[in-house]
Chain A
Amino acid sequence: MKLLDKDAERMVFLLTRREHYLLRFLFRVARRTRRARAALSRDSADAIDESTAAGFADTMAAHHDDARSSAERWLKDPAHCVRGRGGSFGLTLAAGETETFLQAVNAARVGAWESLGSPDFEMGEAIAPPAQANIRAIVAMQLAEHFVAELLRALHEKD
């Protein structure tokens, strides 16, 4: 994933055929993150009642679903993603769309991490015994980390 062009309105990325495939794989295997159920408030129960918190959680879950659906759609939409020579792709995202794309990729990473039991790697917590699903989640996390890093690099590159 390489930034080809950038201005105030949009960003254009070059995706190799493999990167295009892997992004679609990432969104396909992404689980809905459970973090959306986190309460709006941890200790001010007087400010937020349960129904408000539940509504908020639903809103967040829908937000993450929408971001992933949009990112998947852009990868297939010829108006956003054009196949070039050699099988590579040119992905054009408007400024706000790049943020949504970033959110979708990161949410996929978080979802994969949750499916591993939310281990704290810094604390040396081990991943559950290897299984096909765990291996897929580990691969998804690594893939997402790569794409998050590339998107951040592009977003902060000077115009």
Chain B
Amino acid sequence: MPTTVEPVTLPAPVVVPETSTRPTQDHGYLVVCWNDPVNLMPYVTHVFQTVFGWDRRKAERHMLEVHNQGRSVLIRESLEEAETHVHKLQGYSLQATLERDDA
């Protein structure tokens, strides 16, 4: 005796609009500042204070990290925010880059 099979309705495929491949809301990007032999230490401190609104102590700590260790991770944020901060830092002639934080 044949059994009756209930029709199965598959859900419609979800189409994700292809707007951008860049995960702009992913707060997994690091803004890194690299040491260089030209920018003056007080200048670098000033730039960190101005760009990030940090107090002098925090800005100096990162400046010294750049100077002594060659680089300092300044902030972790979304790709768009990280790009904006790298733009600002490079506008001040600092060597800044962003990188994905895979940790």
Chain A: residues with CB nearer than 8 A to chain B?
A: 33, 35-36, 38-44, 46-48, 56, 59-60, 63-64, 67, 99, 102-103, 106-107, 109-110, 113, 118-123, 145, 148-149, 152, 155-156
Say yes or no: A44 contacts B42, CB within 8 Å. no
Total B residues in contact with A, Cβ cutoff 8 Å: 24
Interface residue? B27 (CB, 8 A): no
Q: Which residues of B contact A48 (CB under 8 A)?
A: 98
| Given A35-B90, A35-B93, A60-B90, A152 and B42 contact (CB-CB distance below 8 Å) | yes
Q: Which residues of A contact B42 (CB under 8 A)?
A: 149, 152
CA distance A149 to B90 in the complex (A): 19
Say yes or no: B97 contacts A39, CB within 8 Å. yes
Q: Which residues of B contact A123 (CB under 8 A)?
A: 37
Say yes or no: B87 contacts A59, CB within 8 Å. yes
CA distance A63 to B97 in the complex (A): 17
Closest to A48 in B: B98
Say yes or no: B40 contacts A145, CB within 8 Å. yes
| Given A41-B98, A118-B38, A122-B37, A152 and B43 contact (CB-CB distance below 8 Å) | yes
CA distance A15 to B10 in the complex (A): 78
Interface of chain A, main secondary structure? helix
Say yes or no: A121 contacts B37, CB within 8 Å. yes
Say yes or no: A47 contacts B22, CB within 8 Å. yes
Point out the residue from B29, B38, B91 that lies within 8 Å of A47, measured CB to CB.
B29
Interface residue? B63 (CB, 8 A): no
Interface residue? B66 (CB, 8 A): no
- The smallest C-beta distance from A52 to any residue of chain B, in angstroms, reads 9
Q: Which residues of A contact B43 (CB under 8 A)?
A: 106, 148, 152
CA distance A75 to B95 in the complex (A): 29
Point out the residue from B37, B87, B92, B99 that lies within 8 Å of A44, measured CB to CB.
B99
Say yes or no: A40 contacts B97, CB within 8 Å. yes
Interface residue? B46 (CB, 8 A): yes
Say yes or no: B93 contacts A107, CB within 8 Å. yes
Of residues 49 through 97 on chain B, the ones whose CB sits less than 8 Å from some CB of chain A are: 50, 79, 83, 86-87, 90-93, 95, 97
CA distance A124 to B29 in the complex (A): 35
CA distance A46 to B22 in the complex (A): 9
Most buried by A among B42, B90, B95: B90
Q: Which residues of B contact A33 (CB under 8 A)?
A: 93
Q: Which residues of B contact A155 (CB under 8 A)?
A: 46
Say yes or no: B37 contacts A119, CB within 8 Å. yes
